[in-house]
Structure 1
Amino acid sequence: MSNWRHHVVLFVKGLAMGAADVVPGVSGGTIAFISGIYSELINTIKSINLQVFSIIRHQGLLAAWEHINGTFIIVLLGGILTSLFSLARVMHYLLDAYPLPLWAFFTGLIVGSVIYLLRLHPLSGGLEKIYFVIGSAIAYGISIAPPIVLEGNLTTMFFAGSLALCAMILPGISGSFILVLLGLYPVFIGAIANFQVDILVVFASGGLIGLMLFSRLLSWLLAYFQDRVIAVMCGFLVGSLNVIWPWKQVVDSAQGIVQSTSNLLPHQFSVIVGQDPQTLICLATFILGLALVLVLEYAGKIKSNPAS
């Protein structure tokens, strides 16, 4: 495939990652993982270090650009940022207007991802099964943790950015949901919608520092313990289903912030909540989410041979 087509595919993956990252409970890392760019993304982030300045001084800008895989990160980041600033309002409109079908779509996406990943990396050993359970327990524990409310000042947003962006590159751990738990999600979305440069710059700076540190750990783990790391990540995905299950009852809320929910079956949702569960529509969007995994899998295969 020609370079420009490869870049278009990569840009679209960035769009999908950005769209996923604005939805609490869905991770852009999941999209990267199932579309075949996860390892390259982690290693690219890892390559952005102080060594770059030495390469610029001794070998020039072009060598430094190649060292950090500059074209990859710029195209992907362009897609992510385009999605964040153009699709954020669309995603939140869909969450407000069509929440059940949208969550069903994401549920299908996650279920399809788990099936796909376990087909590629079966839990063949006892240790892998244990790590899978640990990953599931961690993600589930995060999903039921009660939110706190922090003041949205610049210092807080710096550390929130570091934590959230590290979470965003983990499949099944949603950076947006971390912001919800910290009580900072409205501040973050408001900063995007109103283009509050000071908050966005501080948040991004914290995120960049966190990513540079965390990517080194992830890269090392993937290099030496790949099967166990993937088992944990598959567990993360399974545990995250508790967050994105469509039919929920709000059990406790305070000051407009949902403190806890309980998952329901469609017929229970109709009786307890008193709303149409939209079962057939949700089934259709669930299947659409499953089908999208096949599309992303195909895109991942395209990525593996960009010059063909």
Structure 2
Amino acid sequence: MSTTTNTSVGARAFNVFRGALIGVVEVVPGVSGGTVALIIGAYEKLIGGAGHITTAIRYAASDLPRGRGATRARDELRNVDWPVVVPMLIGMACALVLGAKLVAPLVESHQQYAFALFLGLVLASLWVPYSHSGQRWKAGNYLLAGAVGIAAFVVTGMPPSETSGNPLTLFLGGSVAICALVLPGLSGSFILLTMGLYQPVIDAANSRDLGLLAAFGLGCTVGLAVFVKLLKWLLENYHHTTLVVMTGLMAGSLRALWPWQDDDRNMYAPGDGVPLTFSLMALGFAIVAVSIIVEMRLKRSRERAAGGPGNPPTQRRRRHARV
């Protein structure tokens, strides 16, 4: 019993850490929390949980007068993996607050080197949706990913605008930015920058302006309720095509992380600090690449232990035993 409890506590602590990784990158323009969720293997778990929660809220609101809403809502909520989702949400919330205070200023003061590190991370991460689509890619898949990548390249090249941070604009900005949060390759912070709302949101978080934060949070809730159900349906019914599109989004959005660009997002050829910049790029790539290799080896080890595809002799022994 003690061992089980310790394992449970350790698993929850690890999920808090995974949520913190997603939350901390969301304050960095150009880096997608959805990409990090894909890398750490939490993407579909979070999307599925969010889908069940939004359905439960809809049931509770629509069927409550007839008395069936509570029962149907409870049935949906039982499908959420709460031991995983709740610790991750806690980690995300804490990391968002700390990231606004610590990470965002650091990235602003060393943007070139920070972008180089993140560019390497995201570049290596393309392997995750590419290899996890469940089917072999065909020519049409590459064309679709290329078209989506071009569109993402154009969007991430749009210069930032300036907008006043009033409750209405923060509500609208939150409803749009949350869609980028759940789409790998598009950064919610980057969308806020394009809409001119990044600094107002950061200022509201740092000054703890509860009114503006509530408007932004309400917008995020509405956007999530509308978009996440669609994304959950796409993952369940068109898993391969959805991951092809996500791969294109991630590839095209690499433009936002090019280290040599100005405030209007004009790209330039490599200039100052080339050795350190490319070294950090290689470091970011290596971190994700090593993580993927380790995960693949662990998966093969589990398959061999279970007598799966990695261990034909075990399968033969099992067939003889059945005979």
TM-score of the alignment, normalized to the shorter chain, above 0.5: yes
Conserved 8 A contact 1:105-1:288: yes
- Output the amino acid matched with 1:26: V
Q: Whose strand fraction is larger, Structure 1's or Structure 2's?
A: 1
Extract unaligned runs of 5+ from structure 2: 303-323
Q: Is the aligned partner of 1:106 residue 2:118?
A: yes
User: What is the aligned-residue RMSD (CA, Å)?
Assistant: 2.6
Give the direction of change, closer, same or farther, for the CA distance of 1:295–1:73 in structure 2 (3 Å limit).
Answer: farther
SS in 2 for 1:259: coil
Cα separation, 2, equivalents of 1:284 and 1:41: 33
Conserved 8 A contact 2:173-2:192: yes
Cα separation, 2, equivalents of 1:262 and 1:101: 15
Give the direction of change, closer, same or farther, for the CA distance of 1:64–1:215 in structure 2 (3 Å limit).
Answer: closer
Q: 1:125 maps to which residue?
A: 138
Q: 1:253 maps to which residue?
A: none
Cα separation, 2, equivalents of 1:296 and 1:45: 27
SS in 1 for 2:267: strand
Map of 1:204-283 to 2, 5 A cutoff? Answer: 204-248=217-261, 250=262, 258-265=263-270, 269-270=271-272, 277=273, 279-283=274-278
- How far does residue 152 in structure 1 lie from its aligned partner after superposition? 1.6
Give the direction of change, closer, same or farther, for the CA distance of 1:215–1:299 in structure 2 (3 Å limit).
Answer: farther
Map of 1:1-308 to 2, 5 A cutoff? Answer: 2-48=7-53, 49=55, 50-51=58-59, 57-58=70-71, 65-121=77-133, 124-248=137-261, 250=262, 258-265=263-270, 269-270=271-272, 277=273, 279-294=274-289, 297=292
Cα separation, 2, equivalents of 1:173 and 1:200: 22
- How far does residue 118 in structure 1 lie from its aligned partner after superposition? 2.5
Cα separation, 2, equivalents of 1:219 and 1:182: 26
Q: Deviations over 1:265-288 (max 9, x none)?
A: 2xxx23xxxxxx1x3332332233
Q: Deviations over 1:219-275 (max 9, x none)?
A: 111112111111111111111111101122x3xxxxxxx33412322xxx23xxxxx
- How far does residue 11 in structure 1 lie from its aligned partner after superposition? 1.1
Q: TM-score, normalized by length of structure 1?
A: 0.83
Deviates more, 1:64-73 or 1:97-106: 64-73
Conserved 8 A contact 1:135-1:231: no
- How far does residue 105 in structure 1 lie from its aligned partner after superposition? 0.8
Give the direction of change, closer, same or farther, for the CA distance of 1:139–1:280 in structure 2 (3 Å limit).
Answer: same
Conserved 8 A contact 1:112-1:290: yes
SS in 2 for 1:124: coil
Q: TM-score, normalized by length of structure 2?
A: 0.79
Give the direction of change, closer, same or farther, for the CA distance of 1:60–1:88 in structure 2 (3 Å limit).
Answer: closer
Cα separation, 1, equivalents of 2:291 and 2:218: 30
Cα separation, 2, equivalents of 1:60 and 1:138: 38
Q: 1:255 maps to which residue?
A: none
Extract unaligned runs of 5+ from structure 1: 251-257, 271-276
Structure of greater Rg = 2
By relative contact order (CA 8 Å, sep 6+), the higher-ranking structure is 1
Cα separation, 1, equivalents of 2:217 and 2:189: 14
Cα separation, 2, equivalents of 1:52 and 1:285: 49
Q: Deviations over 1:63-102 (max 9, x none)?
A: 6753343333321111111111112222123213322221
Conserved 8 A contact 2:59-2:70: no
- How far does residue 24 in structure 1 lie from its aligned partner after superposition? 0.7
Q: Between the two proteins, what is the percent identity of the paired residues?
A: 28
Give the direction of change, closer, same or farther, for the CA distance of 1:116–1:69 in structure 2 (3 Å limit).
Answer: closer
SS in 1 for 2:222: helix
Give the direction of change, closer, same or farther, for the CA distance of 1:8–1:263 in structure 2 (3 Å limit).
Answer: farther
Deviates more, 1:292-301 or 1:185-194: 292-301
- How far does residue 172 in structure 1 lie from its aligned partner after superposition? 0.6
Conserved 8 A contact 1:107-1:286: yes
Cα separation, 1, equivalents of 2:159 and 2:113: 26
Cα separation, 2, equivalents of 1:56 and 1:9: 34
- Output the amino acid matched with 1:111: L
